[in-house]
Amino acid sequence: MDIKILGTGCPKCKTLEKLTREAVSDLGIEANITKEEDIIKIMGFGVLHTPGLVINNKVVMSGRLPSLSEIKNSITENN
């Protein structure tokens, strides 16, 4: 599973990365989690408002900070 956190380094983006790592750990799955901070690459995903969460090259959330349970659901649904 490939997960990308899209964000330029704001507190919400950092929190999304932390929560995503926690969700992956809680679910006990293997995932490659990366943080994309390049605004041009972020816009390439069609995300205009960060933070954004991309799972297997599909944008599943953007523009808000989801809860831990929402992240877990997104990971499970897109695995």
DSSP 54-66: EETTEEEEESS--
The CATH number of residue 34's host domain is: 3.40.30.10
Can you give the pLDDT at residue 23?
98
pLDDT for position 79? 82
Say whether pTM exceeds 0.85: yes
pLDDT score, position 76: 95
The catalytic residue positions are 10, 13
| pLDDT tens per residue across span 22-57 | 999 999 999 999 999 999 999 999 999 999 999 999
Alpha-helical runs (H) found in 4-57: 11-27, 39-44
In angstroms, the CA 60 to CA 66 distance is 11
Averaged pLDDT, 67-78:
96
pLDDT, mean over the chain: 96
The pLDDT value recorded for residue 16 is 97
Dihedral of alpha carbons 36, 77, 69, 1, sign: negative
Residue range of the domain that includes 24: 2-77
